[in-house]
Each structure stands twice: as structure tokens, then as C-alpha cells.
Structure 1
Amino acid sequence: MKQDNIIPKTDTDVILNKSGYDLFEEYLKMIEFANFNFNNYILDLATGTGRASSVLSRLGYKVITGDFNYKMKEESEKRITKEYLNKILFVQLNMENIPFYNDSVDNIICLNTIHELENPLKCLIELFRIYSGKGKMLIADFNLSGFNIMDEIYKQRYGNIHSRGKLDNNQLLKILNNNSFVIKKIECSLNSGFLIEGKLYA
């Protein structure tokens, strides 16, 4: 990734950096571990503040990124920066009903999203429905250390703790094992990542 193009940081990124953590470095580590094919686009779900798309675009990938609405689009564009927006296509979508055909997407990335979902199981079913099994799918979420660190940040900023969601990483792994040929795990300080290759058909 080009070091001369620094990705703008959120307040959360700044606080994490002061504590010795860097989500951008973790995203970079997991994406490099995945080693996606540069010839195919990557579907990034969900856009959020654009952290994953910022890293992917700087690595040279073409990205389709989607979220429930466009509320964060302006913020994510600032983070991606004008130089890399030509590599990004923004779409509005609901992860419970993703507007792609069955088996039509080779490469998918879903980082720090599962814990935010109201119905994570339904969303995972949708991910496997659209995933072709020909490329790779990288799913990652905060591990226990990550959630504990985020709790401290949320207590400082909002007076409450960070949502842990409805599906922990052990439950997530069981679901992935039931749908995938190969799963490789990568551990970071704040995240547990699962790289899926191939899929099992019902």
C-alpha cells in the first residue's frame, strides 16, 4: 500500500493509535493474507466509514461497496480520497436481501460488520448465496480483546459499551464450516479473520 497516501483517521482511529492499536494495519494484514485476484472486483460489505474500501483501493483493487443507506457516503469518500474514488462503485443495499444473482460474486470482504447486524444469520445466508466459490470471501470481526478495547473507547465517548452483536466468532466459525470447503484463520490484536475458499451446496 502506498505510504505517501495516508488514509484520513476517525476519532476512534486516533484513540486506538494512542493505545498502540491500528485497525488499518489489521485490515491490510488480513487483506494481504487473503491475496485476492486483482482481475476481479471485490464486494465490500458494509461500507461504513470506508475503512476497508480505503485500504483495498490503495492496494489497487476495484471495489463495489454497499451499505443500507448513503448517510455515510460523504464521510467514506473523504476517507477513500479523490485519488482513489475511480476504483470505487457505491451501491445501496440491504444485506438481508443483497441485489446480486446466485453464485455471481467471486470475491467478498466483510470486516467488523457482523456484530452490527440485526439478523446476522440471514445476512450470512445471503453472502453464501451470492458467493460463487471461485474466489475468496474474507469475514472478520472483533475478538474479545477488540470488543474490550472498543468498550473502553465507547465508555469515554458515549458513556456506554460497544455492541457485541448477536453472533460471536465461535458461532460464526461453525456457520462458516457448514458452508465452506476451506477456511483459514488469521488472528490480529483486535480482530479474528476467516478466509473462505470454495463453498458447499445444499
Structure 2
Amino acid sequence: MEIKWEQQWDKIYKEQGEVQSDVLPTVKVAMDIFKKNNCKSVMDLGCGTGRHSIYLANQGFKVYATDISETGLEITKSKAEKLNLNNIEFKQHDMRNISFDNNLFDGILCLWTTGHGTLEDSRKNVNEIYRVLKPNGVVVIDYVSIDDKNYGKYKLDDFLKRG
């Protein structure tokens, strides 16, 4: 039986724990953009195991670490507790149905997540991002293209086979 992509990440994190730990250069650029635009509250949408949530919290932002994977959030929460970071909130939800009020966030970081699923999944996700973002808020989305040096480097099956 094929496991849906929504369930794959929880399986990966249960089997392997943290699979990515380096902060992407895009996040450092996003942090500068968030600071220039006076963002205080930032949602890390699809935070995985929290590498970027931890980084943003260390930069002084109020971070909302969110993911579909309960296991990924547990790993993120454990790392935050070890670092005594109390400016991170955690919430499990589907990016196609974000469980926050309208116009809540100053900034949203969404890296390597909106490309999961179908075109309709992406449309729902973008509409949800727009709904929870404050007017004049800032969104940083990173879509991996075929021109990206990471394109084709990993496939979901590669993560499932590791371990």
C-alpha cells in the first residue's frame, strides 16, 4: 500500500530523526527581509525538525513552528527546550488548512514545502498563507526548480530507504 506524502514525513522522522540540520542560505536572507520589514511574529510553515525555527528564534523573532508531522514537531520542541528558547509555539496542521486566525503573522517562511502534492494542494496552501498573513506582511517561499543545485539530489524514497 502506498503511503500518502502527508504521512511520509512522519514516517521519515520516526525512523531517522533529524534528516536535515544546516540552515539554508535562503533563511538568512529571509531573516534580513523580516527584520527590514519590522516583522515580529513569523510562522515557519512546514518546519520539519525545526532547523529554521530554531535559527529564527535565536534571532529574536516570535516563531510559530508548524508542520503536518507530529514527530517533526516533537523533535523541534525538544531542541528548543534544550536551548531554553521560549519564543517558539508549536502547532500541527496541514498547510492546505492552516489552523490560525486571519491576519495573524507579520512574516511567513515556507521552504521546500509548497511543492509537495498536486497543483490544487499548492493553490490551497497559497490561499491559506495569504489568509493568515497580516496586510503588508512578508512571505518568503522557496520553490526548488530544475535549475537548483539540489534538484534531483534527493527523492522522498531516498529518505525512506535510509536508516
Would you say same fold, with TM above 0.5? yes
How far residue 65 of structure 1 moved from its aligned partner, in angstroms, is 1.6
Tell whether the 8 Å contact from 1:52 to 1:111 is kept in structure 2 after alignment. Answer: no
**Cα RMSD after superposing both structures:** 3.0
The runs of 5 or more residues in structure 1 that have no matched partner are: 1-9, 14-21, 161-202
Identity of aligned residues (%): 26
Matched to 1:126, the amino acid is: E
SS of residue matched to 1:142: coil
Query: Could you state the TM-score of these two structures normalised by the residue count of structure 2?
Result: 0.69
Query: Which residue of the partner structure matches residue 99 of structure 1?
Result: 99
Q: Quote the residue 2:58 is aligned against.
A: 58
Larger radius of gyration: 1
CA shift digits 1:49-95 (9 cap, x unpaired): 21220220111111112112412123323554622531110012222
**Equivalent residue runs for 1:122-161 within 5 Å:** 122-146=124-148, 149-154=150-155, 157=158
* Cα shift readout 1:157-185 (whole Å, capped 9, x = no counterpart): 4599xxxxxxxxxxxxxxxxxxxxxxxxx
Query: How many residues end up aligned between the 2 structures?
Result: 141
Taking structure 1 as the reference length, the TM-score comes to 0.57
The secondary structure found in structure 2 opposite 1:132 is strand
Aligned to 1:175: none
Which consecutive aligned stretches of 4+ in structure 1 deviate over 4 angstroms post-superposition?
A: 10-13, 78-81, 157-160
Secondary structure in structure 2 of the residue aligned to 1:151: coil
Q: What is aligned with 2:9?
A: none
Q: Which has the higher contact order (CA 8 A, sep 6+)?
A: 2
Q: CA 1:120 to 1:50, structure 2 compared with 1: closer, same or farther past 3 Å? A: same
1:89 aligns with 2:65: no
